[in-house]
């Protein structure tokens, strides 16, 4: 088959990985108006929890039980991190928050290696690894794209149609005013963190069957996830998913036909900067007008 088409399909499949993670990035950005640089590591750790729940070396639960349990646990964990770690320093400068993200990054990474060691782990998939289109794309990757789209629908509906979604946006964008109109800002922040952690967990569980589960699976991936979210627009879940796919495809095209495989990360870097400069709101994001 034509190299171009094959690279495009392969990019689409990798793009699904980025799209998943970009959704998690958008989720947290909506909730706290921030990036969470520890998001990748948190997702990785959630995935290890799922692995422990379902693997024979752990509890040996059926896949879907472990899947749901992992999402619930991640939600609790994410909310707990907000309440325990971030609530006390909510007034501290942004830089302090970034330092805490770095701290969390280091802690989850270290803990995962300590608890589960570093040898790559196999992560089960309910979709199997059988060919979907022979020689082109496997059933898991198709399943992954499907789950990503379902997730997208859920998140979209959450922000669009539920009052909680709206309140969460309000709490993130303007805590003072939100408080005045009766939004429980602390509760909203915890909820946002919990949801973001859950979305991250789903992303991790979809990615792991492809990349294999290791403590370092997310470092590079997160950068592409950020790139996807930025390209699509940080305020738009749909944009993030499209952005993720675009980054995946663009990366393959550039790597194959333009700059060679040695500069792929640089492509992501340049992409981020160019989009931020030319169209800071991303493809589908809202333009935020700032009062000065």
Partner 1 sequence: MTSTQVNGNVPAFLNENPKDRIVVLGVPLPLLERVGLFVLLAAVVVLPMVYDGYDIYEFGKILMYMLAVLGLNLLTGFNGQFSLGHSAFFAVGAYSTAIMMDQLGMPYWTTIIPAAAVCFVAGFLFGLPALRLDGLFLALATFALAIATPQLLKYDGIAHLTGGVQGIVLDTPYPPAWIDSIVMSITGEELSVDRWKYMFTAFVAVIMFAGAWNLVHSRTGRALIAIRDNPLSAKTMGINLAMFKSSAFGVSAMYTGVAGSLFAIMDEYLAPESFTFAEAIKFLVGGVVGGIASLFGAIFGGWFVLEIPNIADLVASSLADYINNPQGLTGLIYGLFLIFTVYVMPMGAAGLVQILVHRISTKR
Partner 2 sequence: MKMLTTTMVSAVALTLAIGAAEARNAPGVTAKEIKIGNTNPYSGPAAAYSAIAKAIGACFDMQNGEGGVNGRQINFISVDDGYSPPRTVEQTRKLVEREKVAFLFQGLGTPTNSAVHTYMNKKKVPQLFVATGATKWGDPKNFPWTMGWQPNYQSEGIAYARYLLENNPDAKIGILYQNDDYGKDYVHGLENGLGAKAASMIIARESFEVTDPTVDSPIVNLKNSGADTFYNISTPKFAAQAIAKNFELNWAPLHLLNSVSNSIGSVVSKAGFEKGQGMISAAYLMDPTDPEWKSHDEYKAWNAWMDEYYPDGDKADSFTVLGYSACKTMIHVLENAGDDLSRENIMAQAASMKNYRAPMLLPGIKINTSASDFYPIEQWQLMRLKGEGWERFGDIIDGAVGSGS
Where do contacts with partner 1 occur on this chain (CB under 8 A)? 33-35, 37, 85, 88-89, 92-96, 98-100, 102-107, 109-111, 113-114, 219-220, 223, 226-227, 230, 262-266, 268-269, 272-273, 276-277, 280, 290, 292
Task: Considering only residues 229 through 258, tell me which ones interact with partner 2, judged by CB under 8 A.
Answer: 251-252, 255-256
Are the beta carbons of 123 and 205 closer than 8 angstroms?
yes
CA-closest candidate to residue 196, choices 14, 21, 4: 21
Query: How far is CA 205 from its chain centroid?
Result: 11
**CB nearer partner 2, residue 33 or residue 124:** 124
CA-closest candidate to residue 235, choices 286, 194, 188: 286
**CB nearer partner 2, residue 56 or residue 176:** 56
Question: How many whole angstroms separate alpha carbon 177 and alpha carbon 171?
Answer: 8
Q: Retrieve residue 1's tokens.
A: 């088959």
At its nearest, how many Å lie between partner 2 and the CB of residue 273?
Answer: 18
Question: 43, 48, 264, 271: which one contacts partner 2 (CB under 8 A)?
Answer: 264
Asked if 131 is part of the footprint of partner 2 (rule: CB under 8 A), the reply reads yes
Q: Retrieve residue 131's tokens.
A: 């060919």
At its nearest, how many Å lie between partner 2 and the CB of residue 284?
Answer: 24
Question: How many whole angstroms separate alpha carbon 234 and alpha carbon 258?
Answer: 28
At its nearest, how many Å lie between partner 1 and the CB of residue 107?
Answer: 3
Task: Considering only residues 100 through 129, tell me which ones interact with partner 2, judged by CB under 8 A.
Answer: 109-110, 113, 117-122, 129
Helix and strand numbers, DSSP H then E, in the chain: 11, 2
Question: How many whole angstroms separate alpha carbon 237 and alpha carbon 189?
Answer: 18
CA 215-226-183 angle, 5° bins: 100
Question: 17, 28, 49, 267: which one contacts partner 2 (CB under 8 A)?
Answer: 17
Catalog residues that contact partner 2 under the rule CB under 8 A.
Answer: 3, 6-7, 10-11, 13-14, 17, 109-110, 113, 117-122, 129, 131, 134-138, 207, 210-212, 214-217, 219-221, 223-224, 251-252, 255-256, 261-262, 264-265
């Amino acid at each position: 088959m034509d190299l171009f088409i094959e690279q495009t399909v392969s990019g689409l499949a990798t793009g699904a990985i980025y799209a998943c993670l970009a959704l998690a990035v958008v989720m947290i950005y909506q909730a706290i108006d921030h990036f969470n640089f520890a998001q990748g590591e948190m997702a990785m750790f959630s995935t290890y929890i799922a692995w422990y729940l379902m693997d024979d070396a752990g509890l040996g639960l059926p896949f879907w039980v472990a899947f749901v349990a992992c999402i619930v646990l991640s939600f609790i964990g994410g909310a707990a991190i907000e309440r325990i770690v971030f609530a006390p320093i909510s007034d501290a400068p942004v830089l302090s928050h970034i330092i805490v993200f770095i701290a969390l990054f280091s802690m989850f990474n270290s803990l995962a290696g300590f608890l589960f060691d570093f040898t790559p782990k196999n992560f089960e998939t309910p979709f199997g690894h059988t060919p979907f289109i022979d020689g082109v794309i496997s059933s898991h990757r198709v399943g992954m794209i499907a789950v990503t789209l379902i997730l997208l629908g859920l998140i979209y509906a959450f922000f669009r149609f539920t009052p909680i979604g709206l309140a969460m946006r309000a709490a993130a964008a303007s805590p003072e005013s939100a408080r005045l109109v009766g939004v429980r800002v602390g509760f909203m922040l915890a909820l946002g963190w919990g949801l973001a952690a859950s979305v991250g967990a789903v992303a991790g569980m979809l990615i792991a069957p492809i990349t294999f589960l290791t403590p370092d699976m997310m470092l590079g991936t997160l950068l592409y996830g950020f790139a996807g979210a930025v390209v699509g627009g940080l305020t738009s879940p749909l944009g993030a998913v499209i952005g993720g796919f675009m980054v995946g495809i663009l990366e393959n095209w550039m790597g194959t036909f333009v700059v060679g495989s040695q500069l792929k990360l640089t492509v992501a870097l340049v992409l981020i900067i160019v989009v931020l400069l030319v169209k800071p709101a991303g493809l589908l994001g809202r333009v935020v007008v700032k009062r000065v």
